[in-house]
A and B are shown apart, each in its own frame.
Chain A
Amino acid sequence: MSRSARLMFFAAAAAALAATLGVGLSGLPSFGSQISAYARMLNELAPAQRHVTDVVSAISFDYRGIDTLFEEFILLSAVTGISVLLRPLSDESRQLPEDKAPDRTIPPPSPAVWLLAVFLGSLLVLTGIETVTHGQLTPGGGFQGGVIVASAVYVAYLGTNYVTVERFQPGALLEATDGVGASGYVVIGLLGLLAGADFLSNVVGLGGTGNLISGGTIPLLNLVVGVEVAGGFAILASEFLDQTAVIRTRRR
């Protein structure tokens, strides 16, 4: 289909879609007027029932915990898929990165860049861990904190070079954290069955509302999700960096 024909086709389809969307959206309650009874109920009950202050975490990891289990598996499958897609293909091989080539000397990064990377990297790890562990108290949790922790790898790459970064991302360990994080969620879910309740029931002691240790299984689930997401995103970083730095088409 030619470009102009495709755009004409899109214009017609978009007009129809816009009209349908307009009708659908105009049927919604007016903006800011009300929230659902379900949400009102959870806002009132969750802090007392689950000893958490962040209701979003309580919903993600407790009331709708099974959704998050599948969400975590989707992320795991995506990371697996990306690893498979970005593996060295039959006509490719892993070679020394350019800044390691024997005939080439690259000056080390300036002390200022290095210092900034160390400072920013450690700050990111610290903020990430803080975000993961305080998920039940303040906005945050395993997904957000895991991404923050993993982004430290990118900072290390920007501040130094590929070889240094490789030390931070041993492949087997990263893959293990990704798998352990994902299966940890199931194991914590099984605690509920062991206690004679339902899968993913909040059976651990709830602690005092507002304390770091509170919310029962919610901080535990946040922790395993944080481990999985941090491992997964670090794998992504290394896969995409490998494509740039070390995977080359084999010379024929």
Chain B
Amino acid sequence: MTKARTNASASPAVGRNIIINGAMNVAQRSASVTGIGAADGYFTCDRWEIDVAATSAGRLTMTQTADGPNGISANCIKLDCTTADTSIAAGESLRLIQKLEGQNLQRIGKGVAGAKQITVSFYVKASGAFTFGCELFDNDNSRQITKLFDTTTDWVRQELTFPADEDDGSSPFADDNGLSLQLAFFLHAGSNFTSGTLETTFANNTSANRAAGIDSFFSSDDNNFFLTGVQMEVGPVATEFEQEDIGVTLAKCQRYYYRPTTAGDLTGNTLGQAFSAAGVVGSFVYKETMRAAPTISLFSIGNGTAGQIRKTSDGATTSSAAAANIGLNSFGFATGMSSLTTGDAYDLTFTADAEL
């Protein structure tokens, strides 16, 4: 006899978690980055972006840390405030976000009749008792909703169910590879985002309502914030955190970012042949088909310097290398140089970035 799952009608048994790398197990770029807070960026755990509005004086270190809750994930994201900011300007904000493609969200049916509820669950702890915000922001229709959650010094699973949003009945998520929805953890905000009242249903965006009632992560340089086991699923119930094979998670992450070498290691390389003084032709292939044609950064194997490639025979480097003919699966050329030796072999490594 089979036993029906509580949320079976809304959420599949496998692949129900819409979030990628919710267990924080993949960090292709780096395990730890300091001095974050001046600009947006992807720094450590794949798919998780630090997003800032008007720049705060606050700074943090972001780390993939082996301190996850037992039985859920060995890893978590740790944010460690290193410079406090107690004078919060109106336009400041700090969010830890994941941006999602519309074509991965069609199961929600948002914006049309029959739209479904969304449940977000996650494991969180902090250096003390804080109230932060968990926001869903619909980029296609500029609608949002935020729910507050509290932290303690111990891991706690938060389970937040967001109401269905039929909107005007004709505003679905675009079924394409563009940005449709952000899951955001609002950790710091000025009055531009806090002076209103939280919406209780999805509503057209009013900035002042987005983070009303949250505390500031930057209130003290003693503050820490830990997050893992993030799951977003269709329906009103937070099911058990979905465990995923590391190879599956890595492949999902590599749709958005790929580096053939591990962080700080330039032992992996690709090889091409100069066809003129200006360019090298090669087969520079990504591991996965990427979301969109990616931004390429070229690096010399020899010294890791950006924009350089290396002559294989003698190790001499050449600057001003740019990638060309960049596609979804590979790029074909390194060009823009002026002193290559036609016919000689050159090696290089690269990163490919197709984040939203």
> Do A and B interact?
no
